[in-house]
């Protein structure tokens, strides 16, 4: 008896199953990684992207490039989402995470070809990730976040690969000053006070001198601080000893992941505003000890220069309040019409009198200010700004100590801000800008960027965001790893050694595959720097096999160099996040064995 064929899945849709789907995902991941591969390191190439509206993006920032790319493959979209996650979490390492994830997928292909089940591959990946995190903490060293020189050198290494590297000192100072301005510590009753003009290291959170002194020579593995590093191998020991120490470190790893720091909040997005003003020279850029907004006074007779102003912030209109529904008034006498107009005037006058009672010099509102209100305010020698953005108003409130009030009836003396030292309005180019500077305790700030053109300023803005994120990460987790591919090389050598001795069965292959994939970072740095990849990687392996975990690649020349002397260090938080995200995303894509597209098959 012939049984009729039953169609369960719509056959008109595109569908890939099993091995074909896995290889398709791997190819998509490698393609995305190849797009940003040349954007890694100090010799990184720039990408020029044209958006549908005709605007140009000129950058070597991995996230900025992939954000502008339009991709159709779901796996490629997932890879692009990685760089967004990395950018949101730690703000740096967006290019590294894509290259590493692409390489993780690439090394999985031979295992799938040999019919090794994806679950076994993922188990090997997961074991490698756990051990990698322990090894990372064992080679990290603690940094004194109150030492301005140490912090500046750290930020320099973070933006040394960026477009702004030629103005390294200026940009590092801008980023560090901005972050230290908005930092909030757990032992403060209020926000921390920072003097911008003479920002010096304070002893408030001083760390033991032994734990903060720089690591010398090749002793990074032995001299690192924190409980996670006590069992790390000395520089002269062999890799086998270093690998043996890994199991001893596991117990204390959790202690070093959450170091004893007193930083509670560093909100860069809300309280650091980067104001880009085309024109002038890049050297004119500076951090203001207060807030700057693109606004002018509402009346020409209002004061434009006030020292120590009393500031009131409002979130209500200084206008006649109209009825919410349509209102019709029937007037039979001429006197009644005059009375209606008088009521409007009296209401606005009463508002202005309530404001004047507190004797402010400056009133800023998020809503409108009517002509009549302007007249009464000018009579009382009060300057007004209107239609202020909510975000700007919040920054002004935090910088000046004023409180935003939603109705003039609720105004009290404690709502008046007196923390600002100078209110002034200056003309830059064709625009008028309001400056609220010389704040006593500037808990919010504005970075004024000058430069030759919009594209240049946009790229400097992106680079500054990265620099500020690096400074923020280190304030929360004050541990550093050697840069220039040294960390990845140390992980690769120690994981490869451990794969041979400690990992049984088929899982040993994917575990060793992770070790091989980690070499992609130093290899890419060498290639982008014009060096000989094969020879340099062999030299690096030999150094790390002898326990010299601080040896990495000089990105300028593509040759091996000791990071203790070269001075390139990266935050532990960035490295941890990069490896976690890369391995987790590769694991996610390898678990996919069926892709059913929403689009129909091409005819």
User: Catalytic amino acids?
Assistant: 61, 94-95, 466
Listing DSSP states for 523-568 in one string gives HHHHHHTT--HHHHHHHHHHHHHTT-TTEEEETTTTEEEEHHHH--
CA distances from 129 to 104, 191, 262 (A): 12, 38, 29
Listing DSSP states for 180-234 in one string gives HHHEEETT-SSPPP--STT----STT---HHHHSPP-TTTHHHH--SGGGTTPPP
Report the alpha-carbon distance of residue 33 to residue 521 in Å, rounded.
Answer: 12
Report the alpha-carbon distance of residue 223 to residue 232 in Å, rounded.
Answer: 8
Are 100 and 125 within 8 A, CB to CB?
A: no
Report the alpha-carbon distance of residue 104 to residue 519 in Å, rounded.
Answer: 11
Are 155 and 92 within 8 A, CB to CB?
A: no
Residue that has been written with the tokens 């979490």 in this structure: 89
Would you say the C-alpha torsion 252, 256, 257, 259 has a positive or negative sign? positive
Task: Provide the β-strand partners of residue 266.
Answer: 183
Half-sphere exposure of 354 (CA within 13 A, CB side): 14
Classified as helix, coil or strand, 363 is strand
Residue 436: its H or E element: strand 431-437
Report the alpha-carbon distance of residue 170 to residue 459 in Å, rounded.
Answer: 15
Are 471 and 155 within 8 A, CB to CB?
A: yes
Residue that has been written with the tokens 């920072």 in this structure: 194
Residue 386: its H or E element: none
State the SS3 of 243-305.
HHHHHHHHHHHHHHHCCCCCEEEECHHHHEEEEEEEECCHHHCEEECCEEECCCCCCCCCCCE
Q: Computed over its alpha carbons, how large is the radius of gyration of the chain?
A: 30
- Take residue 317 and report the two structure tokens written for it: 């209109």
State the SS3 of 298-341.
CCCCCCCEEECCCEEEECCCECCCCCCCCCCCCCCCHHHHHHHH
Residue 446: its H or E element: strand 445-451
Are 50 and 56 within 8 A, CB to CB?
A: yes
């Amino acid at each position: 008896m012939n049984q009729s064929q039953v169609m369960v899945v719509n056959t008109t849709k595109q569908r890939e199953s099993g091995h074909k789907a896995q290889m398709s995902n791997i190819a998509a991941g490698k393609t995305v990684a190849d797009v940003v591969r040349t954007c890694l390191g100090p010799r990184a190439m720039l990408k020029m992207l044209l958006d549908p509206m005709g605007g140009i993006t000129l950058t070597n920032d991995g996230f900025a490039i992939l954000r502008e790319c339009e991709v159709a493959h779901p796996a490629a979209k997932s890879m692009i989402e990685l760089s967004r996650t990395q950018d949101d979490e730690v703000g740096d390492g967006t290019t590294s995470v894509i290259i590493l994830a692409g390489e993780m997928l690439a090394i999985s292909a031979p295992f799938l070809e040999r019919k090794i089940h994806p679950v076994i591959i993922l188990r090997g990946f997961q074991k490698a990730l756990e051990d990698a995190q322990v090894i990372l903490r064992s080679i990290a060293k603690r940094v004194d976040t109150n030492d301005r020189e140490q912090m500046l050198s750290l930020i320099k290494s973070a933006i040394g690969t960026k477009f702004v590297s030629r103005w390294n000192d200026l940009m590092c100072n801008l980023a560090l000053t901005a972050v230290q301005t908005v930092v909030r510590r757990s032992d403060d009753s209020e926000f921390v006070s920072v003097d911008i003009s003479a920002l010096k290291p304070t002893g408030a959170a001083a760390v033991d001198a032994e734990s903060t002194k720089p690591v010398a020579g090749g002793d990074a593995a032995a001299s690192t601080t924190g409980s996670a590093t006590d069992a790390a191998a000395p520089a002269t020991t062999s890799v086998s000893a270093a690998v043996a120490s890994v199991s001893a470190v596991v117990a204390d790893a959790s202690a070093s992941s959450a170091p004893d720091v007193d930083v509670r909040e560093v909100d860069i997005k809300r309280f650091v505003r980067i104001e880009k003003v085309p024109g002038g020279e890049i050297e004119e850029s500076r951090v203001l000890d207060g807030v700057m907004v693109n606004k002018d006074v509402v009346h020409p007779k209002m004061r434009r220069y006030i020292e120590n102003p009393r500031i009131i912030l409002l979130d209500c209109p200084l206008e006649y309040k109209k009825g919410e529904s349509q209102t019709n008034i029937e007037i039979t006498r001429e006197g009644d019409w005059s009375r209606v107009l008088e009521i409007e005037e009296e209401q606005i006058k009463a508002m202005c009198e309530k404001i004047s009672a507190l004797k402010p010099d400056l009133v800023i509102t998020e809503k409108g200010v009517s002509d009549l209100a302007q007249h009464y305010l000018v009579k009382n020698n009060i300057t007004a700004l209107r239609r202020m953005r909510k975000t700007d108003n919040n920054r002004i409130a935090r910088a000046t100590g004023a409180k935003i009030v939603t109705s003039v009836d609720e105004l009290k003396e404690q709502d008046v801000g007196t923390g600002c030292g100078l209110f002034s309005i200056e003309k830059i180019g064709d625009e008028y800008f309001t400056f609220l500077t010389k704040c006593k305790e500037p808990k919010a700030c504005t970075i004024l960027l000058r430069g030759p053109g919009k594209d240049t300023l946009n790229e400097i803005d992106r680079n500054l965001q990265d620099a500020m994120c690096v400074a923020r990460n280190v304030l929360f987790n004050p541990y550093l790893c050697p840069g220039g591919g040294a960390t990845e090389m140390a992980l690769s050598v120690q994981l490869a050694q451990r794969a041979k001795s400690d990992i049984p069965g088929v899982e040993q292959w994917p575990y060793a595959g992770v070790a091989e994939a980690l070499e992609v970072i130093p290899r890419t740095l060498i290639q982008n720097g014009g060096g000989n990849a094969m020879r340099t990687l062999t030299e690096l392996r030999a150094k790390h096999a002898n326990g010299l975990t601080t040896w990495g690649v000089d990105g300028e020349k593509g040759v091996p160099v000791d990071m203790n002397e070269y001075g390139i260090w990266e935050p532990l938080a960035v490295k941890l996040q990069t490896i976690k995200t890369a391995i987790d995303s590769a694991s996610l894509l390898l678990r996919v064995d069926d892709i059913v597209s929403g689009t129909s098959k091409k005819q």
